[in-house]
Structure 1
Amino acid sequence: MTFQISAISIYNEGGQLRTVPFRLGRLNIITGDSRRGKSALLNIVDYCLASSDYVIKGAALRNFVRVFAITLVKDQRQLFVARPAPTEKAATATTMCIVAQALGAAPLSSADMTFSTPLDIAKDILSEFAGIDRTVRIPAVRSTTPISPSVRHALFFCLQKQNEVANQDLLFHSQGEEFLPATIRAMIPYFLGAVDPEQALLENRLRLKRQELAAMETALAAARSLSPASGQALALLTEAVEAGLLDPLPREEMTDETALNHLREATADVLPAQTPDAGDDPVSVLVEERRELRARHGRRRAQIANLKRAAEENNDFLGQAAEQHARLATLDLITGTSTAEQTSRCPVCDSQTPQSGQVADVIRRDLARLDGDITVIRNDTPEINSLIAAEESALQELRAALARNQEELDTLTAGRRAEQDHLDSYRRAALVQGRISLFLETTARHVQTPQVVDQRYEISAQIAELEEEVGVGARDDRLNSFVSLINAKIKDKAVALDLEHKESPIRLDPRGLTVVADTTRGPVRLSDMGGGENWLGYHVATLLSMHEWFSEQDNPVPRLLILDQPSQVYFPEDAPDGGQLVGPDRTALLNLYKTIQQTIESLNGDFQVIVMEHADLDDEPFRSSVEARWRRSNGQALVPHDWITEEIEDR
């Protein structure tokens, strides 16, 4: 079991304490008028759980509260966590106070608090208290650095602000913030239990080995481009031939060692031989060669793009096909064999009908065809990946050839500029010999430098071994299985809440971070399920179902869910404070609370829900769950009235 919240506390500058207590394993409701500090409770929890920002809003809190605190309880352990408001121009407070207490102990007094724990250390302590394994490394999307899960990531599934709880576009807390959707996608498998710590370690090693192989490929390519037989060597050979120092040479068979030997021969001649007849202009030949290399380079790139597109389409097909196949397999609608009695029953609803056998046969044939397609695509994918690797290797060679061509062209052009004032053949030959000698000296120094050792074979063998240990798709299979079980819970709650599309299969989409109804007209995402009541209902149904799973599997997510004003969808924007709900809206809201209460009771105290509400119902379970009423009529609010020593606007 992980932690719940037993109290939220605030302290003013004089050290006075105001505490809001909560019952563990129960539904806790704070109801009241607007601008009485209800929404601030969620922000205080967020801030005290090591937020990197100062998320506290409201003039009363910012002007008259100096310390925020929460009391966390886990089994027989209690942790008091306090964090000061930032001082002067600081953006946030970077130290916290974390103290282990006896179970049931009161919050510390202001004088007993020492803020000496750095924010990063505090996050680690809170993560450990939640049961999160900080040694696990989760591969991050679009980043070479893996992520260590923390209590901050667990809060994606524990908090629902006022602008999130019924949002058609955002399902999880902080999903609307830049870059965080990718982090939520990466963390869902871990918190659902689909990431085995040992396997996560192997996956991280595999990722590092793949990076090492890519770095080796880059280093080898760079070494090849800086080899002695570069474009500069070929250009100097051309100048030596033009100066009469060497006979014409076949460029196609020129190797590194051969080129250096010929250049050494050119420096040994004292007198130039007769200048050969000018054939094709070497510069023109190089320009034409460069044009051809560029054309081949463009064709290779286009081929790689086409192959990658084909591989992506294969992966998309396999993902969709596996999901559909897994859904049918989970439902166990079609058995492997059919008896006379089975063929007379519908495989979906189990009703007696003479056509059901034909329907089952059609479904079986479709499943067999789907299995065949999956097999073919899976067999094709490795071949496509092999083709991509071969094309990329050829592309790398073309890039090196282009670099050598450019170097040869630059060297030859520079040499001709230097020789144009030396029409005498002897002077010209001597100038070329000097340039060759300088190049040979430079090359000798380069050869003496450490060379890159090709370890691609060894690294590739290690990658293959790790891939075999990890198992292709093992984590995805577990994730799909777990999500399928959670989907059944969401479906039950959708029926209980009488939501739109409750008659259709409902599923959580971990990639899209939304809920989808699979209808006969196609998939319907949460944003297309019209109406705030449906958006609210699916938010609550999904998060309750996930917390049921967290509790049943003992996963390291705080056993709490904080909802800020779920009843807002039933009140018009200009509704007065204290307005009452009547008719179907009241029935629907009460039904929502009954569903929350049923989930809490089913988990036997292992789950706590805190709700900040505008509505105030006199029906159960709402009435007995109210912990406080903060209304203008009774003068109650989060910040006591006598703390406010000056006029403020949002009171």
Structure 2
Amino acid sequence: MQLLALALYHQDNRQLPRVLRFRPGRLNILTGESETGKSGVLAIIDFCLGRTKPGLPDNPIDRTVGWYALLVEFQDGGRMVLARPRPAGETTNEAFVRSGDQSLSLPGAGELVANTNAAALRGEVSAHLGIEDFRFQPPAGTARYAFDVSVAQGALFCFQNQDEIAASKTLFHRQTEDGIAQAIKDTLPYFLGAAGPEQALRQHRLGEARREVRAAQRKLDTARRQREVLDTNGITLLRLAENEGLLSDVPAAPDADTVHELLRQALSVPPLAPINSDIGDRRQELNEERRTLRAQLQEFDAALATVDRWQRRSFDFTGELHLQVDRLKTLDLLGPEQDHDTGVCPMCTQRLEHRDPSVQDIVTLTNRLSEELEQAAGVQPVRQEHLRSLQAQRESLAERLKTNGVLLKELMASDEHLVRLQEQHLRAAHLQGRIAQSLAHDRGPTTDISQLRNALASAQDVVSILEEQTANDDIPAETERRLADIAALMTAWARRLKLGQSDEPNEAGISFNKLSLVIRRPEDRLPQERVGSNKNYVGYHLVAHLALHTYLRKHNRPVPSFLALDQPTQAFFPSKPRDASTHPDADWATVTEYFRLLHDVTKLNKGKLQIIVCDHANLPDDWFQAALIDNWRPDEAGTRNALIPPHWLS
């Protein structure tokens, strides 16, 4: 793929597009003063090839341009228009694509309407370039994602911006951006022809097979651990089953098959029926009877206490009455004194305020008391009989209460036995449940492990076959061999430009691991950053990319057939010269040799390589002037030419 034209369309569509035309298969030089937009050309080409972030300058492009378009031609003669609208923000995904034959040209401003996106644009360009349906698979264990190889990676070999072509440590376009260096390492073997979809597919299958081996090994190890756990648990369950009466005569050290069979026997034992008992009702009856007997016993104790109190009080009362009666009987000894006037004091013969009782009154009282004592003596036998009856009834209640206690104690002992028996039944049922669960996880003593062992062996066989196949690929060695062919061209051209460290027997090459230049000397290897001076940095960038593209074109590799360079002669001028073509102190002989090499390489590739250079230099040589595609310097009328036409800004 080579470039035919680059067009910028004004935002209002009223202006004619600004068109910059290129010559395929030749050296194309765009020269001019600084700040004319030369560096923007490379960024616009990169953007039109599908880059999401354009990295374009804000002014004056931001104020004027509405669309960018690129007309490209492929090796088979087909053409494509690749157009992108100026992004409103930092990025845009919109695109316009049109395909056709050699009659296809740039579209009119009114025809530019987004009809696809950047990803589809890259896909169509990749298909026309001949990039195969190749999905790069990162090595197993890395934290990277697979991606489809496309022109997005191929374009990284086609650009050298002003700050890249003079870099002291890096060699490729956008190499310092996140993920770009790794993308170059991942795809460079493919673009060199050292690896293709077949090798990538075998590498992918090998990675998948190795993952399957690891997975099969993990499953086998897990099964073995589970087998060990099941064997240990199985023996434990056998001992428990023996203790609970589900098994008998269990061997001391059974093997796995015996454990499995005995557990099934324990599981086949019919479950013990639940124990039904009326002990609870009987215990409640005895407790009710006990409460009743205790209440009755308390009533008899209260009655006996009452009788006892009556008895004691009666004894005390009758004893006092007997004593008083005995005292009163002495009145029977009185003679004439019985008739004494009780109203007169016998001592002083004075009248008493209250008359004393007469002897007859006292005798009457004594007789009545004697009668009452006789009556009390008659009641005593009845009371004794009642007391004996109460005591007998109490003793009967006490005996019944004692019997109740014995029955209740026996019932509680029987209940504890039934509870223990019930608990044993429950333990046996629970144990059978554990046995069933263990057997459910253990589908067979040895079958699963045997199957997993066979699966692991089968996966290992697949890995062995794929390793043997991929060993023949040896992509790293093949990549280094092709880089060695490129190094031969680099070394020859470095000596032509008389770059530092290019003397024999030193050899210049590309380090695949570091993606930088390396000088191989007999005593050591010199990295890129130590070759010294901007002249050498620029020179080695030139020879490296020229050699790389010459190799790609020789082997018809699917990389765009152009190399775009910005300011390759910057090392020979002071910083930001207004017009390097008029600078008297430049090493014009070396500058001429640099451009002459670019011219000769395009001739060497016989029209298969297009080189586009944006630079300040303007050499008078005929071959240089023939390569000019535009000169952005003031014309005879003083009008300053640039990427953005002056009248667009007015």
TM interval, shorter chain, is: 0.5 to 0.7
| TM-score normalised to structure 2 length | 0.67
1:446 paired with 2:441, answer yes
The Cα shift of 1:470 comes to 3.6
Query: Residues 237 and 262 of structure 1 are in contact (CA less than 8 Å); yes or no, is this contact kept in structure 2?
Result: no
1:190 shift after superposition: 1.0
Q: Is the 8 A contact 1:52 1:92 kept in 2?
A: yes
Shift of 1:599: 0.6
Please tell me whether residue 179 in structure 1 is matched to residue 179 in structure 2. Answer: yes
State the 1:102 CA deviation. 3.6
Q: Say if 1:38 and 1:225 are closer, same or farther in 2 by CA, change over 3 A.
A: farther
- Please give the alpha-carbon distance, in whole angstroms, between the structure 1 residues aligned to 2:640 and 2:249: 103
> Which of 634, 638, 648 is the aligned partner of 2:639?
634
Deviation at 1:569, TM superposition (A): 2.1
Deviation of 1:564 after TM superposition, in Å, equals 1.2
Shift of 1:536: 0.8
Secondary structure at 2:478's aligned position in 1?
Answer: helix
Aligned partner of 1:644: which letter?
L
What is the CA-CA distance between 1:56 and the residue it aligns to? Answer: 2.4
Asked if the contact 2:22/2:629 (under 8 Å) is kept, the reply is yes
What are the equivalent positions in structure 2 for 1:301-450 lying under 5 Å apart?
Answer: 436-447=431-442
- Structure 1 position 242, deviation (Å): 13
Question: Relative to 1, partners in 2 of residues 1:261 and 1:426: Cα closer, same or farther, differing over 3 Å?
Answer: farther
Q: Point out the structure with max Rg over C-alpha.
A: 2
Q: How does 1:180-259 map to 2 (within 5 A)?
A: 180-226=180-226, 229-230=229-230, 233=233, 240=240
Cα offset, 1:73, TM superposition = 1.0
Q: Which residue of the other structure, out of 589, 612, 615, is the alignment partner of 2:591?
A: 589
Where 2:97 maps in the other structure, the secondary structure is: strand
Shift of 1:20: 0.6
Deviation at 1:107, TM superposition (A): 0.6
Alignment pair present for 1:82 and 2:83: yes
Equivalent position of 2:546 in the other structure? 544
Matched, 1:100 2:112: no
Question: What is the distance in 1 between the residues matched to 2:543 and 2:424?
Answer: 87
CA distance in 1, matches of 2:617, 2:523: 37
Quote the residue 1:9 is aligned against.
Answer: 7
The alpha-carbon distance between structure 1 residues 451 and 625, as it changes in their structure 2 partners (threshold 3 A), is same
CA distance in 2, matches of 1:250, 1:566: 90
How far did 1:457 drift?
A: 2.1
SS at match of 2:569: helix
Is the aligned partner of 1:622 residue 2:624? Answer: yes
Amino acid at match of 2:91: T
Structure 1 window deviating more from structure 2 (216-225 vs 237-246): it is: 237-246
| Match of residue 498 from structure 2 | 498
How far 1:7 moved relative to its partner? 0.6
Equivalent-residue separation in structure 2 for 1:609 and 1:237 (angstroms): 83
Query: Which AA in structure 2 matches 1:612?
Result: C
In the TM superposition, what is the alpha-carbon distance from 1:502 to its structure 2 partner? 0.5
Q: Which residue of the partner structure matches residue 130 of structure 2?
A: 131
Aligned partners of 1:137 and 1:204 also within 8 Å:
no
Report the more deviating stretch, 551-560 or 584-593: 584-593
User: What amino acid maps onto 1:530 in structure 2?
Assistant: G
Q: Distance in 2 between matches of 1:638 and 1:600?
A: 25
* 1:54 aligned partner: 54
Q: What is the alpha-carbon distance in structure 2 between the residues aligned to residue 265 and residue 154 of structure 1?
A: 72
TM-aligned CA deviation for residue 479 of structure 1: 2.3
Q: Distance in 2 between matches of 1:508 and 1:196?
A: 21
What is the CA-CA distance between 1:147 and the residue it aligns to? Answer: 3.8
- Give the superposition deviation at 1:243: 8.3
CA contact (8 A) 1:241 1:248 kept: no
Deviation at 1:480, TM superposition (A): 2.7
Q: From the superposition, tell whether residues 467 and 31 of structure 1 become closer, same or farther in structure 2 (CA, over 3 Å).
A: same
For residue 55 of structure 1, give the secondary structure of its aligned residue in structure 2: coil
Shift of 1:11: 1.0
Give the aligned partner of residue 118 of structure 1: 117
**Structure 1 residues 21 and 239 mapped into 2: Cα distance closer, same or farther (>3 Å)?**
farther
In 1: Cα distance, 2:255 partner to 2:87 partner: 69
Q: Contact 1:240/1:429 (CA < 8 Å) preserved in 2?
A: no
Counterpart residue type for residue 131 of structure 1: G
Distance 1:262 1:448, change over 3 A: closer
- AA of the residue aligned to 1:611: V
TM-score, structure 1 as length reference = 0.67
TM-superposed CA distance for 1:263, in Å, is 6.5
Distance 1:506 1:248 in 2: 85
Q: Structure 2 CA distance, aligned partners of 1:425 and 1:492?
A: 101
Q: Deviations over 1:69-96 (max 9, x none)?
A: 1000124221111111234x5x533232
State the 1:206 CA deviation.
Answer: 2.7
SS at match of 1:8: strand
- In the TM superposition, what is the alpha-carbon distance from 1:244 to its structure 2 partner? 9.1
Q: Is the 8 A contact 2:80 2:104 kept in 1?
A: no
**What is the match of residue 304 of structure 2?**
none
What is the Cα deviation at residue 488 of structure 1? Answer: 0.7
* Alpha-carbon distance between aligned partners in 2 of 1:204 and 1:576, rounded to the nearest angstrom: 54
1:523 CA drift (Å) = 0.6
Q: Is the 8 A contact 2:231 2:259 kept in 1?
A: no
Q: Please state how far the C-alpha of 1:118 moved relative to its aligned partner.
A: 3.0
Q: 1:579 to 1:607 in 2, by over 3 A?
A: closer
Counterpart residue type for residue 603 of structure 1:
N
Q: Separation in 1 of the partners of 2:521 and 2:605?
A: 32
Q: Higher mean Cα deviation, 429-438 or 564-573?
A: 429-438
Question: What is the identity percentage for the equivalent residue pairs of Structure 1 and Structure 2?
Answer: 25
Partner residue, 1:512 = 514
8 Å contact kept, 1:85–1:92: no
Verify: 1:643 aligned to 2:648, yes or no: yes
- The structural deviation recorded for 1:627 is 1.6
What letter matches 2:645 in structure 1?
Answer: P
Once the 2 structures are TM-superposed, how far is the Cα of residue 473 of structure 1 from its aligned partner?
Answer: 4.7
CA change 1:99–1:270 in 2 (3 A) is closer
Equivalences for residues 281-320 of structure 1 within 5 A = none
Q: Tell me if structure 2 keeps the 8 A contact 1:158–1:561.
A: yes
Q: Is the 8 A contact 1:495 1:502 kept in 2?
A: yes
CA deviation string 1:14-51 (max 9, x = no partner): 22311111111111111223332211111111111111
- 1:68, CA displacement in angstroms? 0.9
1:606 to 608, 613, 626: 608
Q: Is the 8 A contact 2:206 2:463 kept in 1?
A: yes
Is the 8 Å Cα contact of residues 159 and 564 (structure 2) preserved in structure 1? yes
Amino acid paired to 2:162: Q
**Distance change (3 Å), C-alpha of 1:103 and 1:235:** same
Q: Which amino acid aligns with 1:558?
A: P
Structure 2: stretches of 5+ with no match in the other structure: 273-418
Post-superposition CA distance 1:177-216 (Å, at most 9, x none): 1122222112111111112443443333333322332333
Shift of 1:270: 11
Q: Contact 1:167–1:535 (CA<8 Å) still a contact in 2?
A: yes
Superimposed CA distance per residue, residues 512-550 of structure 1 (whole angstroms, 9 cap, x where no aligned partner): 211211224411011111111111111110110011111
Give the letter aligned to residue 39 of structure 2: S
- What CA distance in whole angstroms lies between the structure 2 residues aligned with 1:525 and 1:448? 64
Does the CA-based 8 Å contact 2:234-2:260 persist in structure 1?
Answer: no
Q: Distance in 2 between matches of 1:265 and 1:550?
A: 77
In structure 2, give the amino acid aligned to 1:512. K
Shift of 1:114: 3.5
